[in-house]
Amino acid sequence: MVLTISEKILRDHCDQKDLSAGDFVLVNIDKCLGNDITAPKAIEVFEKIIEGTERSVFDPSKIILTPDHFTPNKDIASAIQCKILRDFANKYHIQHYFEVGKVGIEHCLIPEQGLVSPSELIIGADSHTCTYGALGAFSTGVGSTDLGVTMVLGKCWLQVPKTTRFIYSGQLNKWVSGKDLILYTIGQIGVDGATYKVMEFTGEIIDNLSMANRFTMCNMAIEAGAKTGFIFPDKITKQYLKNVGISKYKTYENDHNANYHNSIEIDCSKIEPQIALPHSPSNTKPISEVHNLHLEIDQAVIGSCTNGRLEDLRIAAKIMKNNKIHPSVRCIIIPGTPNIQFHALKEGLIEIFLKAGAIVSPPTCGPCLGGHMGILAPGERAISTTNRNFMGRMGHKESEVYLSNPVIAASSALKGFITSPESI
């Protein structure tokens, strides 16, 4: 039987060995995760299922809980949400519960902790769980009810998705990163262009892309409607896994003549840094066009599960060094994990940000979803390295969010309007 890598992973996690795209399968889960927004509802479902029985969680070593969205707690309601996770973790001896001080933005933290391996099947009650495809895992977001059931059974229903292959060739232009490749791709195919598909990223550009950029691309696969993003594990993956303590894992290859939904070739030499204008990640334009609009900003956010890794902070610091944030701009830097924050401190990046006039937040998803640490008022405009710019995403429905890579966000924070480093 001719199969793609994703189909092989799903086949080996269920009893249906002759599966094909479109089939519904009951799969065995390697890891499942929830955060302070989604896990409380999942816990409620879990408790209802086991009520009156002596059942427990299917495996306390395979459940991951990360209170990262409204933490440090912004109010009483968020404190209660986090307490639900804490109590559940203590009651059922959950091994991978991360409290404030250890918790980071989940999709930065979980790979960093060595909790993802190639060919694993991972679900999370968070849409950006697709990030882990950068390590060759099949990972996807589910609802809280699905997570609650999985915490009891260790199983979940999935439909086997078709795979669309994206082939990136040519040469990257200056300041172009994985964020720009995925924004450009979404701009080409639309927010529904890969609905319930695997977006498999391949080609010579991907082969030479850093892990940070790979995480960024897979993270935003959901913004094209995809079930997950995926990159074949290679020597770059192997080195990352070694660094986080993983040496044993299984990988697959696509069968010759595997049945792809389609293949899309993208010439990267034509791609500039991209900006997603309100109110959709698909509303993209090259920075050369947006620069001419002279769009003044009130806030710049550099961080999130999309661009909160050390590499992102390094390049932002490179732009900000010996410069000052524009007096009308609030610039918020959010390292993805305590470890990233620690290394940014050791390397002097935090000092650069503070001297430039930015503030540095503890790891949190806060502003990305309009939770805290950077809410926008009516009429305000932000440039952000986050992944969504829907109406009201970062605050008031009359505010605007523009998505970019860290270089553009840093440059714009300095100038006061959306621009590139060339204008500094």
The 10s digit of each residue's pLDDT in 211-220 is 999 999 999 9
Q: Is the model's pLDDT at 423 over the cut of 90?
A: no
Q: Would you call 140 exposed, middle or buried from its count of C-beta atoms within 10 A (0-12, 13-18, 19+)?
A: buried
The 10s digit of each residue's pLDDT in 13-26 is 999 999 999 999 99
Element (DSSP H or E) covering residue 96: strand 96-97
Helix/strand/coil for 64? strand
Nearest to 23 by CA among 32, 10, 13, 12: 10
Q: Fold match between 5-265 and 275-423?
A: yes
| Beta-carbon-side half-sphere exposure of residue 58 (alpha carbons within 13 Å) | 20
User: Is the CB of residue 139 less than 8 Å from the CB of residue 130?
Assistant: yes
Nearest to 216 by CA among 371, 31, 393, 406: 406
* Angle of the 211-219 helix axis to the 178-189 helix axis, nearest 10: 30
Confidence label for 424 from pLDDT (cuts 50, 70 and 90): confident
Domains of the chain: which residue ranges?
5-265, 275-423
Q: What does the pLDDT average to over 66-86?
A: 97
Q: Is the model's pLDDT at 225 over the cut of 90?
A: yes
Mean pLDDT (the chain) is 97
Alpha helices in 326-380 (DSSP H): 338-346, 349-356
The 10s digit of each residue's pLDDT in 271-313 is 999 999 999 999 999 999 999 999 999 999 999 999 999 999 9
- CATH class of segment(s) 5-265: alpha beta
SS3 for 159-226 is ECCEEEEEEEECCCCCCCCHHHHHHHHHHHHCCCCCCCEEEEEECHHHHCCCHHHHHHHHHHHHHHCC
Residue environment code for 181-198, b if the CB has 16+ CB neighbours within 10 A, otherwise e: bbbbbbbebebebbebbb
User: Is the CB of residue 15 less than 8 Å from the CB of residue 108?
Assistant: no
The 10s digit of each residue's pLDDT in 120-179 is 999 999 999 999 999 999 999 999 999 999 999 999 999 999 999 999 999 999 999 999
Q: Are strands 284-286 and 138-141 parallel, antiparallel or unpaired?
A: unpaired
Whose tokens are 């609802």? That residue is 143
Q: What does the pLDDT average to over 386-413?
A: 98
Q: How many CB atoms lie within 10 A of CB 372?
A: 19
Token digits of residue 138: 């099949």
Q: What does the pLDDT average to over 91-116?
A: 97
Q: What does the pLDDT average to over 323-350?
A: 98
The 10s digit of each residue's pLDDT in 238-251 is 999 999 999 999 99
Q: What does the pLDDT average to over 208-213?
A: 98
Percent of the chain scoring above 70 in pLDDT: 100
Q: Is the model's pLDDT at 1 over the cut of 90?
A: no
Sign of the Cα pseudo-torsion (197, 20, 156, 10, in order): negative
pLDDT for res 234: 97
pLDDT for res 232: 97
Q: Are strands 96-97 and 330-334 parallel, antiparallel or unpaired?
A: unpaired
Confidence label for 92 from pLDDT (cuts 50, 70 and 90): very high
Token digits of residue 249: 């894992």
pLDDT for res 248: 95
Nearest to 72 by CA among 107, 30, 104: 104
The 10s digit of each residue's pLDDT in 370-395 is 999 999 999 999 999 999 999 999 99
Residue 227 CA to residue 12 CA, distance in Å, equals 18
Residue 177 CA to residue 235 CA, distance in Å, equals 20
Element (DSSP H or E) covering residue 302: strand 299-303
pLDDT for res 275: 98
- CATH class of segment(s) 275-423: alpha beta
Percent of the chain scoring above 90 in pLDDT: 98
Whose tokens are 């109590």? That residue is 87
User: Is the CB of residue 293 less than 8 Å from the CB of residue 378?
Assistant: no
